Amino acid sequence: MTERTPLLNYRLLSSVNESEPRGAAASQAPEQLPDSPRRRSSPQQQPKKLSVFFGVVVPTLLSMFSVVLFLRIGFVVGHAGLYQSIVMFLVAYFIISMTVLSVCAISTNGALDAGGAYYMISRALGPEFGGSIGLMFFLANVCGSALYVLGLVEAIVSTFGIPEDPNVVPSAHQVLPSGYWWSLLYATGVALVCLLVCLVGAHIYAKATFIIFLVVIFVLIMIFISFFVVGAKTITLPSPSSSNPPNGTGPVLPTTANFTGFKLETLLGNLYAGYTSDYTTGKMMSFATVFAVMFNGCTGIMAGSNMSGDLKNPSYSIPRGTVTAVIFTFIIYNLLSLLVACSCDRVLLQRDYSFLRAINIWDPFVIIGVYSSTLSAAMSNLIGASRILYALARDDLFGKVLSLAKRTSHSGNPWVSVLMSWFLVQLVLFSGKLNTIASIVTIFFLLVYAAVDLACLALEWASAPNFRYTYRTDTHTHRHTICFFCCFFYTLTFYICLWGRLLKDHIKFWRPQILLMVSNPRSSVGLITFINDIKKSGLYVLGHVQLGDLSTLPSDPLQAQYDSWLSLVDHLNIKAFVNLTLADSVRHGVQHLLFISGLGGMRPNTLVLGFYDDCLPKDKLIESPLFSTESVEPFSPSGDVDQPPMYHFASLRGSSDRHDYGEFGDGKVLGPQEYVSVISDAMKMLKNVILARYFNDFDRAQVLSSPSPLAKGDVFVDVWPINLLRPDSCSYVDTCSLFLLQLACILNMVKAWRKATLRLFLCVEEGQSVRGSEAKLGQLLKDLRIKAQVYPVPWDQVVGLHWQRQGGFSKNQKFLSPDSTTDEMEARPMEEESEDDYVNSFPSNATRVSDDYLTAVNKLILDQASQPPAVRFLYLPRPPADTRRYATYLHQLDLLTQDLGPTLLIHGVTPVITTDL
């Protein structure tokens, strides 16, 4: 299985840019193939065709322009006054803006499918976390649907209902009976209409959305024009729900009010708050109750997100469409509030919530707008609630309780979920009045928005490498979520308690958990500080092997060394653990550390070794007063364990000794055979391996310093995601290549390295389409949300050296068996090599690739850098299966990386990156 993993990845990822999926693997769910870079649609899936405007802007505007716009704008200004109304809108839009930014961040973090906000959160943080949000979002949509139904009924009764006050003579068109039970009957009828549409013709509603939008916009324009065209007039006020006391006591309520037109006196009278009782419920209003009603005009921001399954490009459309709708509605609400405050008596605003109809050029305009917007919003919320309930049932979050909700019709409509949602809407309708449930709807939506923000905050705090959204500024997400987090501290506390259970081992939450083997810290300072940058808040362990046998020693020699290692960690200002072990060989010591380091799920998944070469080690701690250059024996021969609190690291040896993890105190105890064996052992244990070369002179502060700290382009990170020891294989999409890209992206995400520019080199041969290859690689980078500059590199001459070495054989011919020796190669003809070995392993390259070819590749790499990069990322092939070729393998790596400067040779064994949300 281990040998086949990269080949499987190659086959899956190689179809990224193909128009049609191939094979059974292509049709599997993303959860089954977490390393698949793109969610493939089934043949039965309808094509996504909605644009930003029709798919996001229109549904969002319709959801926000409903009850508050036509029926409650006067209620807000009449009770709160213009000043407090503006404050309310600022507070409300601040809250929803924070949520919109979080939704934008999550929606641009990968490929989206149908499901809207619940899908985004459940796939970003797991179904358990998303389930709590989904449940609240479901209840919010249920209550919201009931709210809009009651708003429509209120408009109907206000226009056609017989006044409850017997002293008021009804007009000719007021023929419908009024009262609580009658209103409930009308609401039930409207809810049944919504149910029938959702069960039979939801697609009809989707097609009619744009027409409804045009009607609402036209009515809105007529309302604005009416303020300037209609003259001053007296308006008869509707009768309150409860008549004046029969004994004549109590305040006498006015029966008329004035539309004055634009007057300064009217504006001054409406500037400040004047809270009184609500004439529909009889309850005293306050800032909180008015805000609860007003906030319902801001709760449609996720209508566009809920259309994610029908959008051409959800990650592009949702952020832009939602932000556009939010800005537009904010301007309209505030402008309409100003016009109302300048032209309407306060009594009119407080006692007639349908006053816009009375002051319009033609009364039916507003009636049509109210009916269209509220009915549309009611159906939209009912459809949204049913889809969320179906998604919750499909994820089996509530067991058998929602098992029936999984059932769908032949066309895929979740009709049981629709019925269950409608039933709950019907129960909410018993509340009777819009203002009664407005505060409940507000609470639910506030909880949903808080949970979305907290989800985004959790991803930011967790610093997940795969959480790299494209719609962002560098700091907006964590700033706004922290602000919102202050308002919902108890929610965060609850989720943090569940965090350890929710974040399961999944590719989306992968991060480097690094074990860096250090022989002597004196020569490894540069490497230690650099690896600290690419750990991405993951586990970081400094490992060291002391050779010896505890049975022959008077005491444990490692205990006295811990103080020095911990002081080193403090001195270098890094976040790392120290793990020392005693073993009879370096190979066994590294195995011990890979087995025992870490805790629970936090265990090393990546092993970092210094390169095995003859470079002279340099002491980077010699100037530090904390560390002496004197060598102290690791234990006292006399058995005395009372040593100074600061253990002095051993001094470096001469140039003939190996540096980094080539030296373990003695400097000659680790040979090339054992060094490559350590690499091979780590890969067998499914650990990623990194070999670091030329980091002796690496100075992080010097590399990152530039005249313009904020300017990009001064620092470069070069990535060569191709196995340069396999000139016959030019794949950029296997597991190892993607691991290189992931690590380079992680380095670029570190604050100090953000100004660095990633340069990705694309090796192309004659006959290949440079533009086509560059476009495919560019699309892959876009899907992976990685910003890098792609540079095509012609290397025909270099590859030609390889094939000349093969004695004229072409790259289409088969190669020798991996187990063939050099003599056998000369004595017998070519044999077939399996596809698995061909793609995944090094085997026969040790005899196929010549030194001339490797020298040419090395020169090719050097020639591409007009400005030397800070660090290079190269592909590390697997060691050969034949242990007799280990020395040749190491020799070839040495030629490949000769004089390249700080270089990481990287081999990844498991998928670590995904384009799916």
- pLDDT bucket at 654, cuts 50 / 70 / 90: low
Angle between helix 851-863 and 796-805 (nearest 10)? 170
pLDDT on residue 30: 34
Q: Does the pLDDT of residue 662 top 50, yes or no? A: no
φ, ψ of residue 846 in degrees (nearest 5): -60, -25
pLDDT on residue 218: 92
User: Residue 798: which of 692, 726, 709, 846 has the closest Cα?
Assistant: 726
682/606 Cα distance (integer angstroms) = 9
Helix (H) or strand (E) holding 487: helix 476-487
Least confident of 26-35, 224-233, 460-469, 691-700: 26-35
Tell me, which fold does domain 509-615+667-690 have in CATH?
A: Rossmann fold (3.40.50)
- pLDDT bucket at 588, cuts 50 / 70 / 90: very high
Its CATH architecture, for the domain 713-804+846-916, is 3-Layer(aba) Sandwich (3.40)
74-92 pLDDT, tens digit each: 999 999 999 999 999 998 8
Q: Does the pLDDT of residue 290 top 50, yes or no? A: yes
Residue 872 contacts residue 903 (beta carbons within 8 Å): yes
Burial of 702 (0-12, 13-18, 19+ CB in 10 A): exposed
Residue 217 contacts residue 369 (beta carbons within 8 Å): no
Least confident of 76-80, 354-358, 675-679, 805-809: 805-809
Residue 593 contacts residue 581 (beta carbons within 8 Å): yes
102/120 Cα distance (integer angstroms) = 11
Q: CATH homologous superfamily for 56-164+174-238+257-495?
A: Amino acid/polyamine transporter I (1.20.1740.10)
876-906 pLDDT, tens digit each: 999 999 999 999 999 999 999 999 999 999 9
- pLDDT bucket at 444, cuts 50 / 70 / 90: confident
Highest mean pLDDT out of 1-10, 31-40, 207-216, 569-578: 569-578
Least confident of 58-67, 101-110, 509-518, 904-913: 101-110
Strands 233-236 and 256-259 come out as antiparallel
Higher-confidence residue of 50 and 793: namely: 793
pLDDT on residue 23: 34
Q: What is the mean pLDDT of residues 682-704?
A: 91
How many other β-carbons are positioned within 10 Å of the β-carbon of residue 418? 25
Q: Does the pLDDT of residue 212 top 90, yes or no? A: no
pLDDT on residue 643: 42
Question: What share of residues in the chain are helix, strand, coil (percent, to 5)?
Answer: 55, 10, 40
pLDDT on residue 74: 92
Q: What is the mean pLDDT of residues 286-303?
A: 86
Give alpha helix (H) positions in 756-829: 770-783, 796-805, 822-827
Q: What is the mean pLDDT of residues 480-498?
A: 41
Q: What is the mean pLDDT of residues 49-57?
A: 80
Q: Where in the chain is the domain with CATH 1.20.1740.10?
A: 56-164+174-238+257-495
- Mean pLDDT score of the chain: 76
pLDDT more than 90, % of the chain: 25
Q: Does the pLDDT of residue 843 top 50, yes or no? A: no
Q: Does the pLDDT of residue 265 top 80, yes or no? A: yes
765/768 Cα distance (integer angstroms) = 6
Largest separation between any pair of C-alpha atoms in the chain: 121
User: Residue 259: which of 355, 364, 366, 168 has the closest Cα?
Assistant: 355
Residue 729 contacts residue 815 (beta carbons within 8 Å): no
pLDDT on residue 869: 92
Q: Does the pLDDT of residue 478 top 60, yes or no? A: no
Classified as helix, coil or strand, 407 is coil
pLDDT on residue 808: 45
- pLDDT bucket at 707, cuts 50 / 70 / 90: low
Q: Does the pLDDT of residue 476 top 60, yes or no? A: no
Q: Does the pLDDT of residue 5 top 70, yes or no? A: no
pLDDT on residue 805: 57
pLDDT on residue 201: 61
Helix (H) or strand (E) holding 372: helix 363-394
**Distance, CA of 9 to chain centre:** 22
pLDDT on residue 34: 36
User: Residue 64: which of 278, 384, 304, 292 has the closest Cα?
Assistant: 304
Q: Does the pLDDT of residue 399 top 50, yes or no? A: yes
Burial of 25 (0-12, 13-18, 19+ CB in 10 A): middle
- pLDDT bucket at 472, cuts 50 / 70 / 90: low
348/734 Cα distance (integer angstroms) = 70
Highest mean pLDDT out of 476-485, 494-503, 905-914: 905-914
pLDDT on residue 836: 41
Least confident of 302-306, 659-663, 823-827: 823-827
pLDDT on residue 871: 94
Least confident of 27-36, 93-102, 341-350: 27-36
Higher-confidence residue of 857 and 632: namely: 857
User: Residue 580: which of 544, 633, 612, 608 has the closest Cα?
Assistant: 544
- pLDDT bucket at 308, cuts 50 / 70 / 90: low
Q: What is the mean pLDDT of residues 738-765?
A: 88
Tokens 């159906």: give the residue: 379
Least confident of 163-177, 447-461, 636-650, 745-759: 636-650
How many other β-carbons are positioned within 10 Å of the β-carbon of residue 851? 11
pLDDT on residue 822: 36
pLDDT on residue 623: 58
- pLDDT bucket at 499, cuts 50 / 70 / 90: very low
- pLDDT bucket at 834, cuts 50 / 70 / 90: very low
115-156 pLDDT, tens digit each: 566 766 676 666 666 777 788 888 888 998 998 899 899 888
pLDDT more than 70, % of the chain: 73
pTM of the complete model: 0.61
Indicate the residue type of 39: R
pLDDT on residue 731: 65
Q: Where in the chain is the domain with CATH 3.40.50.620?
A: 509-615+667-690
User: Residue 391: which of 163, 190, 579, 121 has the closest Cα?
Assistant: 121
421/418 Cα distance (integer angstroms) = 5
Q: Does the pLDDT of residue 816 top 60, yes or no? A: no
Burial of 665 (0-12, 13-18, 19+ CB in 10 A): middle
φ, ψ of residue 442 in degrees (nearest 5): -60, -45
